[in-house]
Structure 1
Amino acid sequence: MVSLLTLPSTNHVWPSSSSQLGLYRHGPFRRSISFVVRSAHLPSTSAPPCEDRSGRRELLALGVTVAPWLFLSQQAATFAAETKKGFLPVTDKKDGYTFVYPFGWQEVVVEGQDKVFKDVIEPLESVSVNIIPTAKQDIRDFGPPQEVGETLIRKVLASPTQKTKLIEASEHDVEGKAYYTFEFLAQAPNYTRHALTTVCIGNGRFYTVTTGANERRWDKMKERLKTVVDSFQIFNV
């Protein structure tokens, strides 16, 4: 079994991109996602392109010029069409991931995070995505979900002053890719955050998405937060 590297405590901020990785896995969306196409020139006399899954053939028949790179993998794109009511989609074509977050949350910039969205009234309600390089190919190389979750929560996802408790650790595959998901508590002197984290490896990167809420609001928010982590999925770039 590969031992986990000792990572500095970051209180939700991961090591810099130059850091080497050693941890995690579980995961996201259970549905295949079709492609998004931006066409070049569509003659005004022609009807809109057929939205058949044959995609490219239909567009070419209508005289539409389509660059090959616009046909993303099946994991990438018409995510917006599949988004649940009350959520907004995010698709990062450069880094190769997609997820949804609750409508009304605002994007903020946090050093060390790739993307962060949060509720402006309830600051503990947020979702953050972090990416760091890794030479590993599979999250399972770092051990079982329980072991990885305990190490990740203690070393990375909570500050050294917080008391942590892993509630549940699980694993699932999406299109052959392994993901780990953890539910945990991080207790500070004046609040307790109830959180969910999903991690996986792909594209030579270690992906982490974390969401959560104040424990007092967990019962109200848990289904929405579970939708966020369940929606997280990576695709090849």
Structure 2
Amino acid sequence: MIVHNPLLCKLQNYAPYRIAPLGASHRKQSIDVTIRAKTESPVPIRRRQALSILFMTASTLQTAASDAETETSQFQTYSSPKQGYKFQIPSDWQKTEKSGADVLFVEPASKAGDIGVTVSPVRIKSLEQFGDLTAVGDRLLAAERSKESTEYVNLLSSASRRGENGTLIYSYDYKLDTSRGKKRVISTVAVAGQKLYILNGTVKCSKPGPDCSPLGGPGVVESVQAASSSFDILAVQ
């Protein structure tokens, strides 16, 4: 499901065309294997014992390598050379088509989360021209609060970073209670080459309790966070 992103409305005045709404949404896994041989033993190791240790070591390394390969294969890099961005996505999430989104992935098991990207033309050349981290965040939350369906919105965290090519990137993690349900939203924003990039990740929450208990479990939240933290602009065009 595509979820309207209010930040697009705020940038509408900067765009030469109408900006389509964004849809309703690195982790590096590594295994370090260290094998330490006891050298302090005064008893010499016989050839048969040495071979046994060698075979056991080789078996351990093969198992660890297999486990590491399994872990890293859980995520894959999705890149769009045409639009100039990339991010990490769980390898089992399903790619779908949706009007207004350049790409959209949905969590397959329970449809409890999604990660989507929109790319829209704007007149500003950098995110700094729109505002700093706090100013943009205030506008985003104010737009959410102004909706009739919104019952409660709370910013959990915000962050600012630079991509590989120096592009400024803002991210906002907030909880949203609406008349249609509770959700957790992570919006990641960048401007480069007079294009507005927004990666929007949405996690559906269970209704009971004040906190967001993700319907698909904590792994869905981690997947959305990984996509947000890995989002980057390939090159300023």
1:86 aligns to 2:83 (yes or no): no
1:99 aligns to 2:87 (yes or no): yes
Where does residue 216 of structure 1 map in the other structure? 213
Conservation of the 8 A alpha-carbon contact between 1:12 and 1:158: no
Greater relative CO, 1 or 2 (CA 8 Å, sep 6+): 1
Conservation of the 8 A alpha-carbon contact between 1:124 and 1:193: no
Alpha-carbon distance in structure 1 between the residues aligned to 2:130 and 2:121: 15
**Matched letter for residue 119 of structure 2:** I
**Matched letter for residue 176 of structure 1:** G
When normalised by structure 2's length, the TM-score is 0.62
Shift of 1:164: 2.1
Q: Secondary structure at the match of 1:101?
A: strand
Where does residue 234 of structure 2 map in the other structure? 235
Matched residues, percent identical?
A: 17
Where does residue 148 of structure 1 map in the other structure? 136
CA RMSD of aligned residues (A): 3.3
1:139 aligns to 2:127 (yes or no): yes
Q: Structure 2 vs 1, CA of residues 123 and 151 (structure 1 numbering), >3 Å: closer, same or farther?
A: farther
When normalised by structure 1's length, the TM-score is 0.62
Gaps of 5+ in 2: 21-25, 28-70, 205-211
Gaps of 5+ in 1: 1-9, 22-27, 30-82
Q: Structure 2 vs 1, CA of residues 84 and 148 (structure 1 numbering), >3 Å: closer, same or farther?
A: farther
Shift of 1:177: 1.3
Shift of 1:103: 2.1
Q: Deviations over 1:64-88 (max 9, x none)?
A: xxxxxxxxxxxxxxxxxxx943112
Q: How many residue pairs were aligned?
A: 171
Q: Structure 2 vs 1, CA of residues 122 and 87 (structure 1 numbering), >3 Å: closer, same or farther?
A: same
Q: Structure 2 vs 1, CA of residues 207 and 158 (structure 1 numbering), >3 Å: closer, same or farther?
A: farther
Where does residue 161 of structure 2 map in the other structure? 172
Mapping of 1:41-190 within 5 angstroms?
84-155=72-143, 160-162=148-150, 163-174=152-163, 175-190=165-180
Moved over 4 A (4+): 12-17, 156-160
Q: Secondary structure at the match of 2:73?
A: coil
Bigger helix share: 2
Alpha-carbon distance in structure 2 between the residues aligned to 1:180 and 1:118: 23
1:11 aligns to 2:4 (yes or no): yes
